[in-house]
Amino acid sequence: MAKNKNIVLGVTASIAIYKACDIVRTLMSEGFNVNVVMTKESTELIRPIVFQSLSGNKVYHGMFEVPETWEIEHISLASKADLILVAPATANIIGKVASGISDDLLTCVILATQAPVLFAPAMNEVMYKNKITQGNIKKLGSLGYKFIGPRCGRLACGKTGSGCLASVDEIVRAAIAAVK
Protein backbone atom coordinates (compact mmCIF):
# COMPACT_ATOMS: atom_id res chain seq x y z
CA MET A 1 0.00 0.00 0.00
CA ALA A 2 2.74 2.48 0.91
CA LYS A 3 4.91 1.66 -2.09
CA ASN A 4 6.21 4.85 -3.67
CA LYS A 5 4.64 7.00 -0.94
CA ASN A 6 6.84 9.73 0.49
CA ILE A 7 6.52 11.13 3.96
CA VAL A 8 8.40 14.20 5.06
CA LEU A 9 8.88 13.90 8.81
CA GLY A 10 9.35 17.27 10.46
CA VAL A 11 11.22 16.97 13.75
CA THR A 12 11.19 19.80 16.28
CA ALA A 13 12.96 20.42 19.60
CA SER A 14 10.79 18.54 22.05
CA ILE A 15 12.07 16.11 24.65
CA ALA A 16 9.90 13.56 22.81
CA ILE A 17 12.29 13.76 19.84
CA TYR A 18 13.70 10.32 20.64
CA LYS A 19 10.34 8.79 19.64
CA ALA A 20 10.81 10.21 16.13
CA CYS A 21 13.46 7.51 15.64
CA ASP A 22 10.81 4.82 16.17
CA ILE A 23 8.42 6.71 13.91
CA VAL A 24 10.99 6.59 11.09
CA ARG A 25 11.60 2.86 11.62
CA THR A 26 7.91 2.01 11.75
CA LEU A 27 6.99 4.09 8.70
CA MET A 28 9.79 2.45 6.74
CA SER A 29 8.65 -1.02 7.82
CA GLU A 30 5.23 -0.05 6.39
CA GLY A 31 6.91 0.67 3.04
CA PHE A 32 7.15 4.45 3.14
CA ASN A 33 10.12 6.48 1.98
CA VAL A 34 10.92 8.94 4.77
CA ASN A 35 12.75 12.25 4.40
CA VAL A 36 13.50 13.98 7.68
CA VAL A 37 13.55 17.76 8.03
CA MET A 38 14.85 18.95 11.38
CA THR A 39 14.58 22.39 12.91
CA LYS A 40 17.88 23.96 13.92
CA GLU A 41 16.92 23.63 17.59
CA SER A 42 16.15 19.91 17.25
CA THR A 43 19.71 19.24 16.10
CA GLU A 44 20.81 20.21 19.62
CA LEU A 45 18.90 17.18 20.98
CA ILE A 46 19.66 14.54 18.32
CA ARG A 47 22.25 14.79 15.58
CA PRO A 48 21.01 14.52 11.98
CA ILE A 49 23.25 11.49 11.33
CA VAL A 50 20.92 9.41 13.53
CA PHE A 51 17.94 10.06 11.26
CA GLN A 52 20.10 9.64 8.15
CA SER A 53 21.17 6.21 9.38
CA LEU A 54 17.59 5.19 10.17
CA SER A 55 15.98 6.53 6.99
CA GLY A 56 18.77 5.90 4.51
CA ASN A 57 18.14 9.40 3.18
CA LYS A 58 19.81 12.76 3.52
CA VAL A 59 18.49 14.70 6.49
CA TYR A 60 17.60 18.33 5.83
CA HIS A 61 18.12 20.89 8.56
CA GLY A 62 19.52 24.09 7.18
CA MET A 63 17.78 26.69 5.11
CA PHE A 64 20.92 27.63 3.22
CA GLU A 65 22.83 24.38 2.88
CA VAL A 66 24.55 23.87 -0.44
CA PRO A 67 22.36 21.35 -2.27
CA GLU A 68 23.89 18.14 -3.64
CA THR A 69 21.88 18.65 -6.83
CA TRP A 70 20.49 21.89 -8.10
CA GLU A 71 16.97 22.12 -6.78
CA ILE A 72 15.16 24.44 -4.46
CA GLU A 73 14.98 22.10 -1.49
CA HIS A 74 11.84 23.31 0.22
CA ILE A 75 9.90 23.23 -3.05
CA SER A 76 11.32 19.85 -4.04
CA LEU A 77 10.54 18.28 -0.65
CA ALA A 78 7.08 19.85 -0.55
CA SER A 79 6.13 18.69 -4.04
CA LYS A 80 7.25 15.07 -3.65
CA ALA A 81 5.57 14.63 -0.24
CA ASP A 82 2.42 12.55 -0.02
CA LEU A 83 2.23 13.64 3.63
CA ILE A 84 4.06 15.99 5.92
CA LEU A 85 4.08 14.64 9.46
CA VAL A 86 5.43 16.87 12.22
CA ALA A 87 6.26 14.69 15.22
CA PRO A 88 7.01 15.92 17.76
CA ALA A 89 5.32 19.26 17.09
CA THR A 90 6.14 22.02 19.55
CA ALA A 91 3.97 25.03 20.36
CA ASN A 92 6.56 27.04 18.42
CA ILE A 93 6.12 25.21 15.11
CA ILE A 94 2.33 25.17 15.47
CA GLY A 95 2.33 28.92 16.16
CA LYS A 96 4.66 29.72 13.28
CA VAL A 97 2.61 27.78 10.75
CA ALA A 98 -0.65 29.25 12.07
CA SER A 99 0.85 32.71 11.57
CA GLY A 100 2.27 31.96 8.12
CA ILE A 101 5.84 32.39 9.32
CA SER A 102 8.34 30.56 7.13
CA ASP A 103 11.72 31.34 8.64
CA ASP A 104 13.26 27.87 8.53
CA LEU A 105 13.30 24.92 6.15
CA LEU A 106 10.50 23.01 7.88
CA THR A 107 8.04 25.92 7.88
CA CYS A 108 8.91 26.66 4.23
CA VAL A 109 8.21 23.02 3.28
CA ILE A 110 4.89 23.06 5.14
CA LEU A 111 3.76 26.31 3.52
CA ALA A 112 4.89 25.15 0.05
CA THR A 113 3.10 21.79 0.04
CA GLN A 114 -0.26 20.71 -1.26
CA ALA A 115 0.02 17.41 0.62
CA PRO A 116 -1.87 16.77 3.86
CA VAL A 117 -0.10 17.98 7.00
CA LEU A 118 -0.43 16.07 10.27
CA PHE A 119 0.85 17.47 13.58
CA ALA A 120 1.55 15.33 16.66
CA PRO A 121 1.96 17.87 19.49
CA ALA A 122 4.32 17.26 22.40
CA MET A 123 4.82 19.90 25.06
CA ASN A 124 4.14 20.78 28.65
CA GLU A 125 0.45 20.60 29.60
CA VAL A 126 0.30 24.31 30.48
CA MET A 127 1.74 25.20 27.07
CA TYR A 128 -0.64 22.82 25.29
CA LYS A 129 -3.70 24.16 27.11
CA ASN A 130 -2.65 27.80 26.68
CA LYS A 131 -5.35 29.79 24.87
CA ILE A 132 -2.87 30.91 22.23
CA THR A 133 -1.76 27.34 21.44
CA GLN A 134 -5.36 26.12 21.39
CA GLY A 135 -6.30 29.04 19.13
CA ASN A 136 -3.47 28.15 16.75
CA ILE A 137 -4.58 24.50 16.69
CA LYS A 138 -8.18 25.55 16.03
CA LYS A 139 -7.09 27.91 13.25
CA LEU A 140 -4.96 25.26 11.56
CA GLY A 141 -7.76 22.70 11.93
CA SER A 142 -10.15 25.07 10.18
CA LEU A 143 -7.65 25.27 7.31
CA GLY A 144 -7.50 21.49 6.90
CA TYR A 145 -4.44 20.64 8.96
CA LYS A 146 -4.85 17.51 11.09
CA PHE A 147 -3.74 16.81 14.67
CA ILE A 148 -3.17 13.63 16.63
CA GLY A 149 -2.87 13.55 20.41
CA PRO A 150 -1.36 14.44 22.73
CA ARG A 151 -1.96 11.89 25.45
CA CYS A 152 -1.75 12.11 29.22
CA GLY A 153 1.47 10.90 30.82
CA ARG A 154 4.65 11.89 32.62
CA LEU A 155 5.95 15.20 31.31
CA ALA A 156 9.57 16.35 31.13
CA CYS A 157 8.97 18.61 34.15
CA GLY A 158 8.18 15.52 36.25
CA LYS A 159 4.46 16.17 36.53
CA THR A 160 1.75 14.03 34.94
CA GLY A 161 -0.57 15.68 32.47
CA SER A 162 -1.72 16.11 28.90
CA GLY A 163 1.04 16.96 26.46
CA CYS A 164 2.86 13.68 25.85
CA LEU A 165 3.42 12.69 22.25
CA ALA A 166 0.83 10.18 21.01
CA SER A 167 2.09 6.60 20.75
CA VAL A 168 4.22 5.68 17.76
CA ASP A 169 1.58 3.17 16.63
CA GLU A 170 -1.17 5.78 16.83
CA ILE A 171 0.91 8.29 14.85
CA VAL A 172 1.76 5.73 12.17
CA ARG A 173 -1.90 4.65 11.86
CA ALA A 174 -2.90 8.30 11.40
CA ALA A 175 -0.16 8.78 8.78
CA ILE A 176 -1.32 5.71 6.86
CA ALA A 177 -4.92 6.94 6.96
CA ALA A 178 -3.83 10.38 5.74
CA VAL A 179 -2.20 9.04 2.56
CA LYS A 180 -5.02 6.70 1.49
> Catalytic residue numbers?
157
Closest-CA residue to 109 (of 90, 85, 92): 85
In angstroms, the CA 72 to CA 163 distance is 35
In angstroms, the CA 56 to CA 49 distance is 10
In angstroms, the CA 7 to CA 135 distance is 27
Closest-CA residue to 69 (of 60, 7, 110, 84): 60
